[in-house]
Structure 1
Amino acid sequence: MTGKILAESYEVQRILGKQTGRQTLLARDLQTQELVVIKQLFLGSDFEWQDLKLFEREAETLKALSHPGIPRHLDYLEIDEPDSKSFALVQTYVEGRTLEEHLRCGRTFSESEVKELAKLLLAILMYLHEQNPPVIHRDIKPSNILLHSRSGHSVGQVYLVDFGSVQNQAAKFGGTITVVGTYGYMAPEQFGGRSVPASDLYGLGGTLIYLVTGLHPMELSQQDLKIQFADRAKHLNPNLIHWLEWMTEPSLEKRLSSADKAFRSLDENPCAINKIKKNSLVVQPPESDIKLTKNSEFIEIIIPPKEVDFSLIAWFSAAVAANILLRIGGSNYLSVINNLLRNSLIMLSGSLLAAVVVTLLSALFRELRVRIDRHQISYTSNLLGLKWNYPRSISRQEICQLEIRQYNSNIYQMLIQAGKQKYQLGENQGLSESEITWLATELSQWLGLKIKKTLTEGKNNIWF
């Protein structure tokens, strides 16, 4: 095989890997003299069209990607030979060894190296998952991660390779369920043919567990589908252990939902990982009509108009009556002073009436929408078709605190602190204590922030 010329363009140097119906070659580009990697898929007796579909998807995906941690797509070929026909994907060659090879050779990784490696790989996943549509690798494992140019205390350059199992959002709706991945590194939802960005986080978590224990996840015991590795990683900081447990949660709803969140939470205190147990699960109150949508991409809270209480109607009636009486009252014999007083009272009652009308309209028709996605938090009010954002939208990276404030009058508010801005949910939106607790819990889980609870004297009237 060595020295063979493929498609009159590539000279084979050696075979890197081989399995039924396919092989991977190291070759030299005869035009550039650069080394390249060629993946070949043969049309033989064991050929399946699904294999070609995945092979073509890998080629198309790599062609659209450009990241220093991902080998570059160079060419896609159909090779006709007298005794065979094959398809070939040509990529840049990365000199280095896989994590699997490093561990087999006795290399160990310190805690700081594990965290550095995690951040470098999460940066690659952030890039993939931010594509439109998102690109999901689906087969992250030690043998698909290469390390090159280690220096000093740095792990060196990290590469994510082998996109043969890749899925994008558009391909997901093709109607055919394809289960791909490697047992032990596959998230539970992948066994049902479902893959989301959080599925890649599970594979990365399993890979890092392999680094800190020296055992593949399938070699470790499980309890309720959770990988039991903590007893073999006692040398690690509890922060990292909790984070790895969060990454490999079998429940998709409890697992870290995005590479961005995983990156930000890696250095947090374990208390920031708000793990809600079944016996303390907070659910939406049955009487609540709030709409909450939560997935790996965003969380959105829609609060419909609140009910109008009788005190507001009473204020409205009093303001209208006072305004009418003041405008029709009085007579010509009133003094100038009395007229001035009456005019002042008319202005005051008019202002009160306007304020009550605005409050009444807000109560009857104002819808509030709070949305947090991978990029920003927005707080939008919708009143009779008019929309405004106040406080203004701000980067999600600025979100630093969730707080529930209880005032001495048993009034509750939730504040989302983002930079210098505060987004409030509470009495002003007609929310009950149980609704505030439920929403704070949902946000805490999704953002990876603990809930701060504060008892405050008096009440700050913050109207948004």
Structure 2
Amino acid sequence: MTSQILAERYEVHRQLGKQTGRQTLLARDLQTQELVVIKQLFLGRDFEWQDLKLFEREAETLKALDHPAIPRYLDYLEIDEPDSKGFALVQTYVEGKTLEEHLHSGRTFSESEVQELTKFLLEILIYLHEQNPSVIHRDIKPSNILLHSRSAHSVGQVYLVDFGSVQNQAAKFGGTITVVGTYGYMAPEQFGGRSVPASDLYGLGATLIYLVTGLHPTELSQQDLKIQFADRVTQLNPNLIDWLEWMTEPSLEKRLSSAGEAWNSLANPREIPKSIMPVQPRGSDIKLTKNSELIEIVIPPHGFAFDLVSILSGAVPASMVLWINYYDIPINPLVLRMISGSFLVAAGVISIFALFRELHLVIDRQQISYSSHLLGLRWNHFQPDPRLHIRQLEIEKIGDNVSEVIIQADKKYRLGVKQGLSESEIKWLASELSQWLGLKITITQTESKWLASELSQ
């Protein structure tokens, strides 16, 4: 089979990718014997002039750039063949696999590798954004980042490729809105056709979130357009989690504004708000388990509360008096003994519950359940609800005292004073649940504004 030769110079080896009206080829330059990448745009039924503008802009941008981690411009061709007409951009070939391919093959990245990769990519963005005018990539995602020559001590050489969506801040499209990028990695302002250097930071942050969670950003829940991922990476340094949240702020005003600022803030983390790191109250015996798969709250036996002690201190002596002095009371002795015996049994059962029963609230990826555990026995208080049915997290207050935390699903799941929790424990558990569920805390009474400001973010 005869190899295809383009422009009497480039010998095509194989196809690397194909989209409607486009294809990418691996070829050999017969003059230099070097491998090259050829991107082709065809003039067919699906051709739009906007595509040609972006294609020409990619060529002009690459021609002006000179960075070892960016493919180098080599040639620009017009294709005029009987069966195809269009244009071709020739650039240097970068050997390696994309981040997407690495993740699909099962590769994982340690925190130190993520930090190293982040710094390489920020260096590239600093170079691009410091051009005059600034060059904005607009499509940073795992499939546009290549890694090559990984070693035991290095993440490898890092390359940023595919400048097909590139824009400089001086470029305008005559009043039209141009939306380019990839859903999940596009900053919210890009949906309105606006791109600034901070838009690339959002794409980088979303890419790194994919790297540390193994999930595409669209597979993660959102709250007010913010990607909720912290519950899946509890092993990461809180400063890195906070930095990634900062990089992916939906609001431009709240997001890091430049690659240089992002670099400095990575090296010198900001003070993390207390709401990000809820602390268990001193002396609390509650057991909290939280990871990417579940959150489990185990409330230990709360012992004899004052009201229970008051009841038992009256009921037990009365039962003993009835049991011992039944002959002095003008009622059938058998009935009296049955009544007093019932009081003693009830007091015993209540005591066992108070001293040995644990309450378990468990929320995993499938459901929420609430159960009691007593001396090796377990029973649910009611049928578990699907996890997806959880729609609200609230703190219900009575006067100035916190009553309980309520998780609203098909039913209400309550944790509060009745379970022996203190006010500080309720606030702490509400913060933990809010962070894991990605739900804001709703305060049910207006006089609780002080608590709302402390817990709701």
Common fold: TM-score over 0.5: yes
Matched residue, 1:175: 175
For the Cα contact (< 8 Å) 1:78–1:87, is it kept in 2?
yes
Distance in 2 of aligned mates of 1:30 and 1:225: 50
Secondary structure, counterpart of 1:53 in structure 2: helix
For the Cα contact (< 8 Å) 1:13–1:26, is it kept in 2?
yes
Distance in 1 of aligned mates of 2:97 and 2:174: 36
Matched residue, 2:157: 157
Distance in 1 of aligned mates of 2:156 and 2:263: 19
Pairing 1:285-364 to 2, within 5 Å after superposition: none
Secondary structure, counterpart of 2:106 in structure 1: coil
Shift of 1:267: 2.6
Secondary structure, counterpart of 1:266 in structure 2: helix
Matched residue, 1:239: 239
Pairing 1:41-440 to 2, within 5 Å after superposition: 41-172=41-172, 174-271=174-271
Secondary structure, counterpart of 1:155 in structure 2: coil
Q: What RMSD in Å do the two structures reach over aligned CA positions?
A: 1.7
For the Cα contact (< 8 Å) 2:242–2:272, is it kept in 1?
no
Distance in 2 of aligned mates of 1:268 and 1:212: 21
For the Cα contact (< 8 Å) 2:136–2:200, is it kept in 1?
yes
For the Cα contact (< 8 Å) 1:133–1:170, is it kept in 2?
yes
Distance in 1 of aligned mates of 2:217 and 2:14: 32
Q: Residue by residue, what CA displacement relative to the aligned partner does 1:173-226 show, whole Å, maximum 9, x if unpaired?
A: 642210000000000000000000000000000000000000011110000000
State the structure with more CA Rg: 2
Cα distance change of structure 1 residues 18 and 215 upon mapping to structure 2, 3 Å threshold? same
Q: Residue by residue, what CA displacement relative to the aligned partner does 1:209-267 show, whole Å, maximum 9, x if unpaired?
A: 00000001111000000000001111100000000000000000000000001011113
Aligned residue type for 1:159: Y
Distance in 2 of aligned mates of 1:66 and 1:54: 20
Cα distance change of structure 1 residues 95 and 272 upon mapping to structure 2, 3 Å threshold? same
Aligned residue type for 2:11: E
Please identify runs of 4+ aligned residues in structure 1 that moved more than 6 A.
Answer: 272-275
Shift of 1:168: 0.4
Distance in 2 of aligned mates of 1:186 and 1:269: 25
Shift of 1:152: 1.7
Q: Which moved more, 1:137-146 or 1:169-178?
A: 169-178
Distance in 1 of aligned mates of 2:135 and 2:111: 29
Secondary structure, counterpart of 2:267 in structure 1: coil
For the Cα contact (< 8 Å) 2:243–2:269, is it kept in 1?
no
For the Cα contact (< 8 Å) 1:2–1:12, is it kept in 2?
no
Aligned residue type for 2:184: G
For the Cα contact (< 8 Å) 1:239–1:268, is it kept in 2?
no
Aligned residue type for 2:62: L
Aligned residue type for 1:120: F
Cα distance change of structure 1 residues 37 and 273 upon mapping to structure 2, 3 Å threshold? farther
Cα distance change of structure 1 residues 104 and 69 upon mapping to structure 2, 3 Å threshold? same
Distance in 1 of aligned mates of 2:248 and 2:81: 46
Matched residue, 1:9: 9
Q: Compute the TM-score of the two structures, normalised by the length of structure 2.
A: 0.59
Q: Residue by residue, what CA displacement relative to the aligned partner does 1:107-157 show, whole Å, maximum 9, x if unpaired?
A: 000001001101100000000000000000000000000001111221111
Matched residue, 1:26: 26
Shift of 1:60: 0.3
Aligned residue type for 1:19: Q
Q: Compute the TM-score of the two structures, normalised by the length of structure 1.
A: 0.58
Secondary structure, counterpart of 1:140 in structure 2: coil
Distance in 1 of aligned mates of 2:10 and 2:157: 27
Q: Residue by residue, what CA displacement relative to the aligned partner does 1:57-108 show, whole Å, maximum 9, x if unpaired?
A: 0000000000011000000000110111010000000000000000000000
Q: Residue by residue, what CA displacement relative to the aligned partner does 1:248-290 show, whole Å, maximum 9, x if unpaired?
A: 0000000000000101111323407899xxxxxxxxxxxxxxx
- Segments of structure 1 that go 5 or more residues without pairing to the other structure are 276-464
Aligned residue type for 2:226: K
Aligned residue type for 2:262: A
Q: Residue by residue, what CA displacement relative to the aligned partner does 1:149-171 show, whole Å, maximum 9, x if unpaired?
A: 11122111100000000000111
Count of aligned pairs between the two proteins:
276
Distance in 1 of aligned mates of 2:195 and 2:149: 33
Cα distance change of structure 1 residues 52 and 80 upon mapping to structure 2, 3 Å threshold? same
Aligned residue type for 1:47: F
For the Cα contact (< 8 Å) 2:42–2:85, is it kept in 1?
yes
